[in-house]
Structure 1
């Protein structure tokens, strides 16, 4: 099977090393920072015709929308966007803005009189990070993220849904990564890292998710100096958190297979964040199939699932590395400056 320009020797990063390496997907971010705000929204838009989707919720405190539709037993086969947003349950309103934009464009599930866009969503808890508890994403911010969507969006850091994120006391954010497999299939992830758990190796301060990097991807990183690791004392970690995201492939998968892909991506989350899936996390991952390539055989599906876990771990690491430090949530490289060019 080949879905790309030809078979490659081994997994390599896609051209952007980002979710948009999956053909047809577009990503947009919008955030509000200042005047009491520190929050935002990220949208993943489907190619024409929609995308097959599944979901796996592992955290005990999730905030979600339209996830029941993704059960393989239920009617709808394609979704038109996935929204990841701050604002806790209040932030689910951002999906309404995306839904309005899609409906205005005539994109959605056809019904008598028009279309109903299918827009699953998940939230992180970032209330009060900018000062005002109710300064949360709304439909207008969701529409702004939709308007910003492009097929070349490859940024990482404190943007979109990750604008107010924290990660075990460090600044968190949005991270993305991709892999092109020997078959030519592409697998990619986008993570919004807002974790109660640590993103650091036990007993040290190297980023756990970076252990799963492709050759050279994190080659600039070193094990931070022992004195820096010993001096790190995270500030008060918020009592509610959540890491959310998507993992996608260009292959044609069923809803059940998309759900399995989402479930395996949680293994990547748990490799990069410790502990994960706690009572105060709402960890939720969507599995997406762009359906530009053929259905995989059994061996190819195994490779896609394995890559799904790895790309999610890598996305977590990129989110933390690129995040912007602020009061109460310093950047990783501000706390561990020897991680770049330090002594291994």
Structure 2
């Protein structure tokens, strides 16, 4: 079978930042929809995929912040601000646990074929910079069916500003506590203050150990009435609250949430690292608990450098000259990461008999 997800909405997606594109590759078989006697997946067939965030903006700065105790990553040391290389040509987010890191090989192969990468001689040879992070989704499909280099190549070749969210790409095998997870996105254009005119966006693969739904309210954590109304959500019935509580007892313990938070602001490498750090604040708002010893929570940061504030804010000598802009960008980064995780859960489709939030709490939807 195939899964197409829901289209990400213009004005509320990471690709609202020029120079960012998203591509997916996945495979889902009908057999992967069968659950075992325990009610959890009894892996048969394919149920996994890869998502690639393609960075085509010239001179983009990349960084990463890893806070989970069980990360599966590639090329993250390279992105330390004290090191020489400060960019990335693509970020790979994949299922398949550590096996899924092989998808990055295919992304490198495809980019090299297009001449994309660090030019290291005068004969056209390049080395694409392709950091990666993975989620643990092996029990959802068959254990030995996981993304390889071909998944990565297909995903980067399909990268576009128009893309889907939900159970697509790396979100196919994702679980959010006891519920179905997936891929989600969000963005905000800052209209006022020192960062006016700057856009911040996020794309997240929600696959956490922790809960994405507050058991007391049956709603996503820490969303105000206006935000809930905008999502078409309301407090679910007592029967649905009981159903959510029963499902919570079946949550898994080997998961991870990974993603990319990006901006078109001009940021240097240390401040792009701070952007990635701020993304974890949003992760912590959307998931309880977050950053556990069993999670591999990883957030990449990208600054494309296309927009510089029209009126610089004076700063005291000895302070970073862009601190006022960075503070506002980081505030918004936490918001869009939180919203992207909620988007992933709301857009999810049932796979491997893992219930979606809509199935578990239908009365929450207006």
Both proteins in one fold, TM over 0.5: yes
Q: 1:10-89 residue pairs with structure 2 within 5 A?
A: 15-34=10-29, 36-89=45-98
Gap regions ≥5 residues in structure 2: 1-7, 32-44, 313-321
1:242 corresponds to which residue?
256
Question: Could you tell me whether the CA contact under 8 Å between 2:57 and 2:304 is conserved in 1?
Answer: no
Moved more, 247-256 or 297-306: 297-306
Question: Could you tell me whether the CA contact under 8 Å between 2:26 and 2:151 is conserved in 1?
Answer: yes
Q: Does 1:173 align with 2:198?
A: no
Q: 1:288-303 residue pairs with structure 2 within 5 A?
A: 288-294=302-308, 297-303=322-328
Question: Could you tell me whether the CA contact under 8 Å between 2:215 and 2:241 is conserved in 1?
Answer: no
Question: Could you tell me whether the CA contact under 8 Å between 1:209 and 1:317 is conserved in 2?
Answer: no
- Using the alignment, how far apart are the partners of 1:142 and 1:50 within structure 2? 23
| Structure 1 residue 329 displacement after superposition | 1.3
Using structure 2 for the length normalisation, give the TM-score: 0.85
1:129 corresponds to which residue?
140
Moved more, 288-297 or 257-266: 288-297
The one of 193, 207, 211 equivalent to 2:206 is 193
Change (3 A) 1:80 1:212: farther
- Using the alignment, how far apart are the partners of 2:9 and 2:107 within structure 1? 27
Question: Could you tell me whether the CA contact under 8 Å between 2:140 and 2:352 is conserved in 1?
Answer: no
- Using the alignment, how far apart are the partners of 2:258 and 2:199 within structure 1? 21
SS in 2 for 1:246: strand
| Structure 1 residue 117 displacement after superposition | 0.3
2:35 corresponds to which residue?
none
Question: Could you tell me whether the CA contact under 8 Å between 2:202 and 2:340 is conserved in 1?
Answer: yes
SS in 2 for 1:289: strand
Q: Does 1:265 align with 2:291?
A: no
Instruction: Give every structure 1 segment of 4 or more consecutive aligned residues whose post-TM-superposition deviation is greater than 4 Å.
Output: 209-216
1:254 corresponds to which residue?
268
SS in 1 for 2:162: coil
Structure index of larger Rg: 2
Change (3 A) 1:214 1:287: farther
Change (3 A) 1:210 1:104: farther
Using structure 1 for the length normalisation, give the TM-score: 0.90
| Structure 1 residue 78 displacement after superposition | 1.5
User: Aligned pairs, how many?
Assistant: 326
SS in 2 for 1:69: helix
Change (3 A) 1:92 1:50: farther
1:146 corresponds to which residue?
156
2:243 corresponds to which residue?
231
Change (3 A) 1:199 1:215: closer
- Using the alignment, how far apart are the partners of 1:159 and 1:339 within structure 2? 24
Question: Could you tell me whether the CA contact under 8 Å between 2:206 and 2:344 is conserved in 1?
Answer: yes
Question: Could you tell me whether the CA contact under 8 Å between 2:90 and 2:130 is conserved in 1?
Answer: yes
- Using the alignment, how far apart are the partners of 1:242 and 1:230 within structure 2? 26
Moved more, 294-303 or 27-36: 294-303
- Using the alignment, how far apart are the partners of 1:337 and 1:14 within structure 2? 23
| Structure 1 residue 111 displacement after superposition | 1.3
Question: Could you tell me whether the CA contact under 8 Å between 1:41 and 1:86 is conserved in 2?
Answer: yes
Gap regions ≥5 residues in structure 1: 1-12
Question: Could you tell me whether the CA contact under 8 Å between 1:14 and 1:21 is conserved in 2?
Answer: no
